[in-house]
């Protein structure tokens, strides 16, 4: 990879289309659209092929899980090979009997898997009961380690990971070239409008902060649309979209709206991190001798 390369990237903001087959068909059309616009990297949202099923707890939902080389991976891999793309996808992974993960898959112009990342931080909140379904990724397999591809090292993290500066920093320390956050986040339809705005602004701001603090471009991909709670207990989730791509100073390169299914395109200067770190030498000035308490749950 040349440091001077302008990399065309795409973030696909998409809705759930009612079935795995229909949604993947739509995903394929959007990936082909991105390729036609000369994207070399295409990033999909969290659990893009299915519904966001974590609104409730149900043992039957585990039947939706698939192997890391299952049908979704095979379809994405075939597209990566045909279109010569780097694709970041996402599946509900069945790793073993009783062990399931929220897993990002990376393909690099080939049907073979270039790497994967299993979500490390797992939330457990009303409407987001992920601890019931997902085992956290192992720290060493692959943990917070970027995936090497033909376009650079991809620091792929997933949704709840995006709120943790430690995750972004560890990816940066492992020489990531881009931070990528596949996401499924939205509002409670009954929440007050001003609170919805605060939540959305916080989500955007914290990820732009990771870009600034690490001098790295960020790609954040969220879903759109309303998805009902299958139990009928709540009013479901209204996913707020707002996918965006920003540069290493947090500047927006492209930003989607809240409701439109679209291919969000931007050009990233892959040599800019080096330039920024010469001007803003955060990594030079880190006090690594004083950070031992970061490995503790709480200081007191």
Residues taking part in catalysis:
46, 119, 159
Task: Please state whether beta strands 86-96 and 99-108 pair in parallel, antiparallel, or not at all (unpaired).
Answer: antiparallel
- Whether 282 and 215 have beta carbons less than 8 Å apart is answered as yes
- What are the strands, taking DSSP E only, across the chain? 6-13, 41-44, 86-96, 99-108, 113-118, 147-149, 152-156, 178-182, 186-187, 218-221, 224-227, 237-240, 244-246, 252-255, 262-269
Residue-wise burial string across 124-153, b where 16 or more C-beta atoms lie within 10 A, e elsewhere? eeebbbbeebbbebeeeebebbbbebebbb
- Whether 276 and 21 have beta carbons less than 8 Å apart is answered as no
Residue-wise burial string across 166-181, b where 16 or more C-beta atoms lie within 10 A, e elsewhere? ebbbbbbeeebbbbbb
DSSP bridge partners of 7: 268
| DSSP 8-state code for residue 136 | P
Q: Would you state the torsion angle of the CA atoms of residues 41, 42, 43, 45, taken in this order, to the nearest 10 degrees?
A: 180
| Percent helix / strand / coil, the chain, rounded to 5 | 30, 30, 40
């Amino acid at each position: 990879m040349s440091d001077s390369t302008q990399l065309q990237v795409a973030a696909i903001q998409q809705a759930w289309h009612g079935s795995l087959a229909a949604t993947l068909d739509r995903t394929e059309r959007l990936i082909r659209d991105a390729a036609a616009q000369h994207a070399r990297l295409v990033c999909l949202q969290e659990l893009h092929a299915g519904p966001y099923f974590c609104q409730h707890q149900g043992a039957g939902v585990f039947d939706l899980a698939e192997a890391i080389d299952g049908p979704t991976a095979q379809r994405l891999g075939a597209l990566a090979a045909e279109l010569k793309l780097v694709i970041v996808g996402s599946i509900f992974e069945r790793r073993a009997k009783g062990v399931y993960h929220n897993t990002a898959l990376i393909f690099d112009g080939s049907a073979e898997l270039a790497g994967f990342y299993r979500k490390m931080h797992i939330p457990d909140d009303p409407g987001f009961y992920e601890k019931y379904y997902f085992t956290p990724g192992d720290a060493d397999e692959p943990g917070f380690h970027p995936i090497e591809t033909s376009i650079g090292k991809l620091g792929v993290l997933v949704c709840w990971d995006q709120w943790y500066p430690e995750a972004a920093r560890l990816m940066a320390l492992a020489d990531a070239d881009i931070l990528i956050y596949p996401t499924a986040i939205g509002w409670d339809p009954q929440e007050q409008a001003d609170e919805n705005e605060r939540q959305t602004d916080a989500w955007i701001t914290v990820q732009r902060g990771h870009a600034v603090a690490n001098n790295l471009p960020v790609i954040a991909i969220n879903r759109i649309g309303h998805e009902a709670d299958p139990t009928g207990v709540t009013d479901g989730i209204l996913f707020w979209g707002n996918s965006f791509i920003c540069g290493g100073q947090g500047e927006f390169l492209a930003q989607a709206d809240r409701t439109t299914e679209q291919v969000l395109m931007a050009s990233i200067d892959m040599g800019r991190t080096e330039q920024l770190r010469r001007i803003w030498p955060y990594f030079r000035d880190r006090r690594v001798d004083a950070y031992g308490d970061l490995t503790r749950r709480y200081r007191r």
